[in-house]
Structure 1
Amino acid sequence: MKAADEPFLMVVEDVFVRNRGRVVLACGRIERGRVRTGDEVEIVGLAGGPVTRIAGIDRCRPHAGEVIAGTHAGLLLPGSATGAIERGQVLATPGSIGAHAVFAADIAVLPEHQGGAEVLTGDGLHFHVGAGAVRGIVVLPDGVEVLRPSHLAAVTVRLERPVALETGWTFAFRHHGRAAGSGAVTRLLS
């Protein structure tokens, strides 16, 4: 499948409201696929949002009719998207990606001299996925009481709010306000 034939996906990095709330500009990097003015996109993750149409594409001031993967762009959405879109969500081809609050992951805790700290089942961590951050609880595998710095484990993560996720996506996490490690999604559970 060619990149242009893949479902469209953009992680929202910034949101600006223009023209007294009549237009919303969602900015980010096009991760895959292509989008054109007039295409429908779905707002996925965190609070979620409606399916809406692209009113225009802004690429460093010159307006474009379409953008493809690897491009940074601003997508102009109708004012009805005001309040429905925020940093950390994704814009995607409707139905191509889902929001999930529970997933399995392989994580690696940083060494102690780089900020790694012991992680216990039930510890509240801040997970950074794409441009968003959400608090979650980690559940260690049976028989593992503590995950020490410089160690790896297969864990389950339960987030407070669902985020757009796919198997293989990477994330970082913070513990006690410090960078503590990273991981990759191995299985989506809900």
Structure 2
Amino acid sequence: MDAAEEPFLMVVEDVFCLNQGRVVRATGRIERGRVRTADEVEIVGSGGGPITRVTGIDACQLRLEEANAGMNVGLLLPGAATGAVERGQVLAAPGSIGARVAFVGDIALLPEDQGGAEVLTGEDLDFYIHAGAVRGVVTLPHGMDALQPLHMAAVTVTLERPVALEVGQSFAFRHHGRAAGSGTVTRLLP
């Protein structure tokens, strides 16, 4: 499947309000697919959900009619309420990705000298998914009390707010303010 056939997805890295808040400019890198002026996009993530129309695309101070995967762009979204778009959300083809608060993932802890620390069931970790951070509680597999540095496990994560998630998506996490490890989403939970 070539990039033009994949559904559009862009991670929102920054948001600006223009024209006294009547237009939102969301900037970021297009991860896959393409977007054209007048396409509808869905805001996915915490507080997201509305579908809005792209009225302008800009890259490197140039106005474009179309942008493809790999490009850093700004999308103009009139009618998107101020605060409806925020860093860490994604803009996507409507219905192509959903926001979830729970998932199963394979995680690997860093060595102790690089920040890895023992992780216990029920501990709060800071997860870095897309361009945003969200707090989450980790649940280790049945019978495992603690996960030690340099070890791996399949864990269940429950986030404090919905985040756009897909199977195969990578993430990083911090434990007590220090980089502790990384992982990959293996299954989405309802």
TM bin (shorter chain): over 0.9
Q: Does 1:24 align with 2:24?
A: yes
Cα deviation code 1:56-95 (max 9, x no counterpart)? 0011111000100010000000043321000000000000
- Aligned residue for 2:94, secondary structure, equals coil
Gapped runs of 5+ residues in structure 1?
none
Consecutive aligned runs of 4 or more in structure 1 exceeding 6 Å deviation? none
Partner of 1:71: 71
Do the aligned partners of 1:138 and 1:157 also contact (CA within 8 Å) in 2? yes
CA contact (8 A) 2:52 2:79 kept: no
Greater share of helix: 1
| Aligned mates of 1:63, 1:74 — CA distance in 2 | 10
What is the Cα deviation at residue 48 of structure 1?
1.6
How many percent identity over aligned positions?
A: 71
1-structure distance, mates of 2:31, 2:146: 36
Q: For residue 88 of structure 1, what is the amino acid of its counterpart?
A: G
| Distance across 2 between alignment mates of 1:27 and 1:80 | 14
Unaligned runs of 5+ in 2: none
What is the alpha-carbon distance in structure 1 between the residues aligned to residue 79 and residue 21 of structure 2? 5
8 Å contact from structure 2 (residues 170, 185) kept in 1: yes
Q: What are the within-5 Å matches in structure 2 for residues 107-118 of structure 1?
A: 107-118=107-118
* Map of 1:186 onto structure 2: 186
Question: Does 2:127 match 1:127?
Answer: yes
Mapped contact 1:33–1:69 kept (Cα < 8 A): yes
The residue aligned with 1:60 is 60
What is the TM-score normalised by the length of structure 1?
0.98
TM-score if structure 2 supplies the norm length? 0.98
Structure 1: how far apart are the matches of 2:68 and 2:114?
A: 37
- Work out the number of aligned pairs and report it: 190
- Matched to 1:178, the amino acid is R
Amino acid at match of 1:23: V
Residue 167 of structure 2 is matched in structure 1 by 167
Q: Which residue of 2 aligns with 1:85?
A: 85
**Residue 152 of structure 2 corresponds to which residue in structure 1?**
152
Q: CA RMSD in A?
A: 0.8
Separation in 1 of the partners of 2:112 and 2:81? 43
Aligned to 1:15: 15
